[in-house]
Amino acid sequence: MQAHPQPPAAPIKAPVPLPQAGGARITASGTVNAPDVLLGIIFIVGIAQAHKFPEDLLRFTDTLLGRTILFALTIALTVWKGWTIGLLFALLSARLIQHTGRAAEMTAARYEAPLQEAFGGSPDDAAVLPLVFSDDMTIHPVEKKEHKWFIERVLKENPTRIESEKVRTQPVQGS
């Protein structure tokens, strides 16, 4: 019996490379596009040194116009240069907003009346009275207890006063 002759096979074609969208583009020589790398390095240094930017610039980024410009630039750089550059600029924007100084003012206002911890070891432990810092915050004496929390055992603490047994939460305030 004779085998049927096979038709000649079609030549195998290499797939056509698709144009790359986003990220650092690789040139024909196999290297990464130098301007994208340089821009990425500039953004990384900016992220690391955001606290050293001028105060006027940091205050401007805290305004509505400043945040809008940062948001628009983040989207524009992501579309134009790719997601890696866009992500780095988004991190730079977040660091600029973080160092506006408003967070420090809010923290200082929140902790105006400093709390003092009351742990055992002082000679007048038996005469611990409730402390009142404001109308809604009173620190009550704690009875000696058999079971201690893990952190109390690790740090060898004997608390004598406690603000409350329950957690109080408040809604987020401000902008």
Q: What is the pLDDT of residues 15-27, one digit of tens each?
A: 666 555 555 555 5
Residues 6+ apart with CB under 8 A from 160: 118, 119, 120, 125, 128, 141, 142
Residue 14 in domain: no
Average pLDDT over the chain reads 74
Model pLDDT, residue 2: 65
Identify the domain containing residue 70 by its residue range. Answer: 34-105
By CB atoms closer than 10 A (0-12, 13-18, 19+), residue 86 is buried
Residue 51 in domain: yes
DSSP alpha helix (H) spans, the chain = 34-48, 55-61, 64-81, 83-98, 102-110, 150-154
Does residue 122 sit in helix, strand or coil?
Answer: coil
Q: List pLDDT tens digits, range 113-153.
A: 555 555 555 545 445 455 555 555 666 677 777 777 788 88
Residue 6 in domain: no
Residue of 52, 25, 61 whose CA lies nearest to 40: 25
Same-domain pairing of 38 and 65: yes
Residue 56 in domain: yes
Residue 98 in domain: yes
Model pLDDT, residue 89: 96
**What is the tally of structural domains in the chain?**
2
Same-domain pairing of 122 and 154: yes
Residue 68 in domain: yes
Same-domain pairing of 81 and 137: no
3-7, 45-49, 111-115: which has the minimum mean pLDDT?
111-115
Same-domain pairing of 50 and 96: yes
Same-domain pairing of 99 and 139: no
